[in-house]
Chains A and B, each alone.
Chain A
């Protein structure tokens, strides 16, 4: 839904629908490790917990604005309208995948929907998004770029080099720092200087003299407001902003990879598996963005329980169909592994 149409209750229902679609997709991927052992190979990273942040941010988007997420990238094309079938087939490494099975979970792209690609190496796509914003500026297309990356990525050189450039050139870009509290397996409190000093991560914006705000990333409306403000600034030619969207990754960083035929597995969250801190995990589970937003729609907006269930059922059916499609799709021809090296 383009930003102009995302107002009122209709927008809230749209947001909830997209959040549920992402959650159902991610849960199906996670279940595949058990229901279809060995089907998923390679690294797969889930965005459960990020739904409100993703959808809130994208609710401010015009239909031709560019979106560049990190390697944890399933949710964004789902919102952009990329068929789930092709996303799932790509996660499964199949021929009908979004990238013909050449990319996998971390390397999704859908250029026709203004999603030029991702980076499987942390933080690098911040520079690519900055370049996409440069394109928009040079070509005067009026597009802005939504650049998503994690708390871990904000310690990469690419972050500092790119945000400085964007500030110098007043590029039309919004940097959305998704603070999901864990840099792979390490808690943000062990790796981020701002966090250790008791400051928000958005303080990094001060180094570039650009606006920096921190927002509750479990609430899509709050994210929409904060990102919307940053997007307006970008559209007005005033340059980049940094929005720290703070939420909690509800699954582990990613699956463990194994040598076939041993199936891959999805481990327990790092809070429990690495730090033995079940209380922290449970605390954030209570702030699950889907659960919170669902009850708010029923309580405040007056959405009927049956309508909510209807949204959930439609999403579940869409995901189930995507899984069946992906399972039925063949693997790419081994002898074609040398294709597409050059354009």
Chain B
């Protein structure tokens, strides 16, 4: 099999689930005839027909609301957002209706809300955000942020099979930028389980999504200096894999938390609290946060470059932390 891009991996994952299970269907803006703004569902309508690949009006609240109603009546909808920034239009449906369905009635709501998030494409403040924390704060939802093509495919398949609502953030910078070999046979990557993206002994970076690649690049530079980084890719940001977080801290005793989302209320703060609860005695230095600054995502390319965490930030902070 030729290597797959991150986007092709997601596309294959959804395609295979639609082949496997007739209750899976897609809905969203421009996903049918046009094939989706980023072409994730290109060709789906020809294979599965307009009844299972549904072009919707621009009506995010009703897209999620209808997907929810369909999930309560035996279907497994996969709703696409053209950009995850637009999810604000459906916020009430997601955090109040969808997230609390099982708690209120004991009724599973197996639906997936997926779409592109993240910056580094100069999309400006409404087409570059990382809104995962809005949903991490809503118990009842699962929130997934894959970093590799293998994971993207395995996680989207697991998300579609899960009996809970899953918000699936696809990093648009990675869509066509990364490629890897992906097994031809059916597999899933379980939700809620982190992976070690790089084994190391000196210090740990806990991160997810596009920042995994920033961390990997920094690790190569630091390896030449004899600093051995361990990189934990969370894959699912809610519910968090607390054990994986604690384990890497117990191993290296020094930890950097890295994410592309803004600093205040970002996942790093939550992970720091978990480390405090689970592995405080194992720390040999301060918990370091590398994040975007607390501002909207800037439009101007040099400003966006300044805003996003960089390889050089990781190298600099690793040097400081290593000195403890």
Interface set of A (CB-CB < 8 Å, partner B) = 66, 68, 99-100, 102-103, 107, 109, 111, 116-117, 119-121, 124-139, 157-158, 161-162, 164-165, 168-169, 340-343
Q: Identify 17 residue pairs between A and B in the complex whose beta-carbon atoms are under 8 Å apart, listed by A's number.
A: A100-B106, A109-B105, A119-B97, A121-B92, A124-B97, A125-B97, A127-B62, A127-B93, A128-B68, A132-B73, A136-B73, A138-B51, A138-B75, A165-B66, A342-B142, A343-B102, A343-B108
Q: Which of B25, B52, B92, B104 contacts A109 (CB 8 A)?
A: B104
Chain B residue nearest to A107 in the complex (CB): B104
A117-B104, A165-B56 given; 10 more Cβ-contact pairs under 8 Å: A99-B104, A99-B106, A117-B107, A130-B62, A131-B69, A131-B70, A139-B23, A157-B61, A168-B57, A340-B102
Q: Is the CB of A131 within 8 A of B105?
A: no
Flag if B101 contacts A342 (CB, 8 Å).
no
Main secondary structure of the interface of A (DSSP, over half): helix
Q: What residues of A have a CB within 8 angstroms of the CB of B164 in the complex?
A: 342-343
Among candidates A100, A103, A165, A340, residue contacting B62 with C-beta atoms closer than 8 Å: A165
B-chain residues with CB within 8 Å of residue A120 when the two chains form the complex: 96
Size category, B interface: 35 or more
Q: Which residues of the other chain, B, contact A162 by a CB distance below 8 angstroms?
A: 59, 62, 65-66
B279 to chain A, nearest CB (A): 24
A342 & B70 in contact (Cβ 8 Å cutoff) = no
CA distance A68 to B107 in the complex (A): 14
The answer to whether B97 and A131 have CB atoms under 8 Å apart is no
Q: Which residue, B25, B72, B142, has most C-beta atoms of chain A within 10 A?
A: B72
Q: Quick check: is B34 within 8 A (CB to CB) of the other chain?
A: no
Identify which of A109, A341, A342 contacts B107 (C-beta below 8 A): A109
When the two chains form their complex, are residues B66 and A134 in contact, meaning their CB atoms are under 8 A apart?
yes
**Which of A103, A126, A341 is B105 in contact with, Cβ under 8 Å?**
A103
B306 sits at the interface (CB 8 A): no
- Is B163 interfacial (CB 8 A cutoff)? yes
**Nearest A residue (CB) for B75:** A135
Known: A121-B96, A139-B74. A102 touches B69 (CB 8 A): no
Note all chain B residues with C-beta closer than 8 A to A133.
69
Q: In the bound complex, do residue A116 and residue B73 qualify as a contact, i.e. CB atoms below 8 Å apart?
A: yes
Chain B residues in 8 Å Cβ range of A169: 54
Known: A340-B106, A342-B140. A126 touches B65 (CB 8 A): yes
Question: Could you mark each residue 144-165 of chain B with 1 if its beta carbon is under 8 Å from any beta carbon of chain A, else 0?
Answer: 0000000000000000000110
Q: Are B163 and A128 in contact (CB under 8 A)?
A: no
Question: B5 within 8 Å of A by Cβ?
Answer: no
CB distance from A76 to the nearest CB of B (A): 14
Task: Give Cα A165–Cα B60 distance, bound, in whole angstroms.
Answer: 11
> Are B106 and A161 closer than 8 Å at their CB atoms?
no
Measured CB to CB, the nearest residue on chain A to B106 is A340
B62 pairs with A161, CB closer than 8 A: yes
User: In the assembled complex, how far is the CB of residue B39 from the closest CB belonging to chain A, in whole angstroms?
Assistant: 24
Q: Smallest distance from the beta carbon of A315 to chain B beta carbons, Å?
A: 26
The smallest beta-carbon distance between B103 and chain A, in angstroms, is: 5
Per the bound structure, the CA–CA distance linking A238 and B73 in Å amounts to: 21
CB of B67 closer than 8 Å to a CB of A: yes
Given A127-B62, A131-B65, A341 and B140 contact (CB-CB distance below 8 Å): yes
Residues of A contacting B51 with CB < 8 Å?
137-138
Q: In whole angstroms, what is the CA distance A185 to B57 when docked?
A: 33
Please name all residues of chain B whose beta carbon is closer than 8 Å to the beta carbon of A99 when the two chains form the complex: 104-106
Which chain A residue has the least Cβ–Cβ distance from B192? A342
Q: Are A128 and B108 in contact (CB under 8 A)?
A: no
B18 within 8 A of A: no
Q: Is B139 an interface residue (CB 8 A)?
A: yes
B67 touches A131 (CB 8 A): yes
The answer for the CA separation of A204 and B164 in the assembled complex, in Å, is: 36
A343 CB contacts on chain B under 8 angstroms: 102, 108-110, 163-164
In the complex, the answer to whether A132 meets B70 with C-beta atoms within 8 Å is yes
Question: Which residues of the partner chain A approach B107 to less than 8 Å between Cβ atoms?
Answer: 109, 111, 116-117
